[in-house]
Chain A
Amino acid sequence: MNLIAKRYSVLPGFGLSLGYALFWLGLIVLLPFAALALNASTLGWTAFIEQVSAPRVLASLQLSFGAALIAASVNALMGFLVAWVLVRYSFPGKRFVDALIDLPFALPTAVAGIALTTIYAPNGWLGRYLDPLGIKVAFTPLGIVVALIFVSLPFVVRTVQPVLEDLEKELEEAATCLGAGRWQIFRRVIFPAVLPALLTGSAMAFARATGEFGSVIFIAGNIPLVSEIAPLIIISKLEQFDVAGATAVAVVMLALSFFVLFLINLLQWWTARRHGMK
C-alpha cells in the first residue's frame, strides 16, 4: 500500500479521493447488502431453508433465472445481428433505427409492460392471431421471456457496436489476401474479436433481466407456480409484513446473481487471456 501511495501521480490527493470513493461505494452498494444479510440472519438457519425451499419460491427463482438466461441468449444472437447491420450497412433511416435501440432504456418499464400486454393478450393485435395456433404469450412464461428480451436488447447492441466499428478494415483485407472466404473471415477474424464485448453485453442483459419487475408483472399474469417471478414473491411477502421471509428470497437472488456474474467474468478473463490481451 505504501508503495502505491508514494508513487508519483499527476493528480493530487490520492489518499483523500480513494477514501472518498470507497466510502461512497460502501454507502451506496455495500451497506444495503449488509443490511440484507443482517435481516435474513434474524430468521435462523432452519427457517431460512424452509422459506427459500417453499415450492412457490423455488418455482419463481427457476422462472426468473431461466427466463433471463433465455432472454440473454436470444439477445446475444439478435443483438449481435442488429449491431452488425447498423455498423456494416447504410440504409435510409439508419439513424432512426439506431436511436430506436435505446427506447427500452428510456421507456418506463410499466409502459413497456402495458404495451406488450396489449399486443400479446389473447384479444390483442398479435395475440389474436397466435391464440388459434395454440401459442399463448401473455400470462405465460413465454410472455415473461418476451418482456425480458425487450428490456435487455440495448445492452448487447450497445456493447458490440463500438467494437465492430473499431475493427480495422485491414484485418479483413489481410484475410482476403490470404485466401479466406467471407464466412471464414467472419468466423475466424471478426467473431473472435467481438466475442469479449458480446459476452459483456450478454452478461449485462442477463443481470438486468433477472431483476426486471415493472414490465414483467403486467404480461406475466402472476399465476403461482407458473408465471410468478422472484421479485414479485419478495413484494408479496413484504406486503404481508414478512420482512424476514422477503429478505431470505432476496439473499438467494443476490447469491445466484453473484454466482452468474462471477462465471461470466471468469469466461471473459479466459477469452481475454486466450486473445493475448492480458
Chain B
Amino acid sequence: MTFLAPLLLSLAAFAGVPLLVHLLRRRVTRRVEFPAVRFLMQTEREHSRERTVRNRLLLILRLLAVIALVAAVARPIAAIGGSGHPPLAVAIVLDQSMSTRAVVNGRTVFSGLQDVARDVAGRLSPDDRAWLVTSGGQVVAGSAAELQAAIAGLEPSAGRGDLGGALRRARSLVDAGAPRTPVIAVVSDGQRSAVDTATVIEGVPVVVFAPALAATANRTVQTVALEPARWVPNGRVTATISGADSVAWRVLLGDRTAARGALAASPFEAPLTIDVAAQASDTGWITGRVETDADDFPGDNARVFALLAGAPPAVDVRRSAGAFVEAAVDALVADARLRRAASGARNVVAIAGATDPVDGPAVRLAPDDPLQIVAANRALERAGVPWRFGAALRDTVVVAGAAGEAADPTVAPGGARVTLRYRLTRVALTGVADSGQVLAVAGGTPWMVAGADYVLVASPLSMAATNAPIQASFVPWLRDLVSQRLGDGGVVVDAAPDDTIRLALAADSLEAADGTRRAIDAARVVVPAEQGVYLLRRGARRVGALVVNPELTESDMTAWDDTDWERLVPDAPVVRVSEPNRVADTVYDRAGGRSIAWPLVLLALLALVAEALVARGVFASHASEAASTAAAA
C-alpha cells in the first residue's frame, strides 16, 4: 500500500491519544467514599475478565478508528478492491510530427491520434496527475478538461519534432507524480524515425498506440541544392526525388515555373536526380521550390529554397589591414566570392586598421604599434564604436569562443595563438544603443567584438601578433565577416520546423513571406513551425535567408517494430495497442492499486459505531439477557 499524501501519516500520532487515555486511567487519584464497595469488588471479581476484554476491545476500536481515518486522509492506494480507477501519473505523449499529416480514408492520421489522446485524457480522475507532452515540445499539465482542450487545439507540425525528447520529458514528469503509478501513453503514427535511437526510457510502463502506417504511394522531394550560392544571374537547381510511381515535378523561381518534367518510379532509398539550369529574373533574394504532384502525404511533396541573385559582396581593403588580409581578399575576389569597391559606396565593407577613418561597415584591426592606441581610440570614438583599446598584453594565449568554449570557425579563427593583443574595454556612448557583443576571447579578455556595423579585433592580423593569418579557417572567416556579418553576402541557413538554432550572422528579425516580421535573438532562434523561406534582417537590410523544410526522415514511412520498442523501454513492459478504443482501458489497467480512502473512512465509522455500542454495553446486556434466559430455562 502506498499513500498519495504520506506526510499526513504523521497524524497517526493521534492514535496514541486513546492509548494514553487508556494508560492514564490506571492512575486514579480521585477518592470517593462508598459503603457498598463490597458490591463493587464482587462486580469486579465476577466481571473483571469481561471488562478487560471490553476495555481492550474499546482500545482496539478507538485505535482502529484513528488509524483508519489518518490512513484515509493520506489517500492510500492498495492493490485490493476500492473505488474509482487507480490513481495514475500519466503522461500522454502525442506525436504531431509532419508524418501525421498523412491522409487515410479521407482523414488525417493526426485527427485519429487526437481522438485517442482525448479518450485517454477523458478518463482522468481528480486523484490522477496528467500531462500532455507533444513532439513539438509543448507540455500541458491539468485536469481532464484542460488536457482535452489542449489536445483539440493542436495541429500537426511541418517537421519531425522531437518525440524522443517528449518521451524523456514525460519520463521525468511521471516520476514527479509519485507515488501514483507512472504510465506513459504514446500516441503516435509509429514512424520509426520519430524517436532517435539514443532515447531510452527506463522503469516506466509504456502503452503505445501506433496504428499501422498507411501504405501511401508517397512522392518525396528529398533534397534541393543550388550552384552557385549567389546567382549572377545564372545558376543550377539540383534535386533528388523519389516516388512509388511516376512523378511529375516542377521547379519554381518565385511565381515562375523554371522547369518541369516527370520521373520514373524510384524507391525512397534510391531517389532520382534532376539538374535544372535556370536564370534569375531579378536581383536580390528569390524564393523557389521544387515540388511534385500532391499525394496522401502532402508534407514532403515540395522543398523550398532561397537564392541571392546579383553581384558578390563588395569589400575595400586598406593598406593598414596588412598583407595577409590583402592576399586573402585577392583569393576571394578571384573566386568571385567578393568584389572590390571603394568604401563609402552602398553595401561596401571596409577592412582597415583602427586608426584609419572609415565610413560604413568595417572590420577594424588593432594597430601594430602600441603608440597608435590613442589615435585608434580617437577614430573609434568618431565612428561611434563603444569599445576602446587598453594596455598591450604580450603573453601567448589562444583564441576561444565568447563563453570560453572552442571558437566557432565561422565567427573567429579558433585555435589561433595570440602574442600581442590590447585589452578591450566597453564604454558607454551617448546616443549609441548598440553596446556590441563579444565574439571571441583570448586570455580571458575580449579579442573580437562586434556591433551592427563593425567588427573590432584586439590584435593586428600580422605574424608579429598572431598566427591567425596562417590558419586554414582564416580566409573563410574573413569571407564570412565581409559577406555575412557586415555585408549582404546572402547566407542561407537551412533548418527544420520547430528547431532551435544559433545564427552565425548578426540578424535581429525574421521576415515571413507575407512581410510580417518578428524579432529574434541570433544566439537562439526558434525556427518557425511552417515550411517556407524566412528572410533574416539586420535593421533595414536583408542579410540572409532561413530556409525551413521538414526533415527527410519524416518521409521515411518505416514503422517501429517490437525490437525498437524493447530497446526504447528496456526494463518495463511495452504494451502496444492497435485498436483506438482500447488504449484508455490499457492505460488505466497499468496501475498497481486503487484508492481505498473511502473504504477506510467506512471502516473508521464502523469502528466508532462498534465502540459506541461496546461502551454502552449493548453486547454485554445482550449477553447477560441471553445468560438470564438460559438460567431461567
The answer to whether A and B assemble together is no
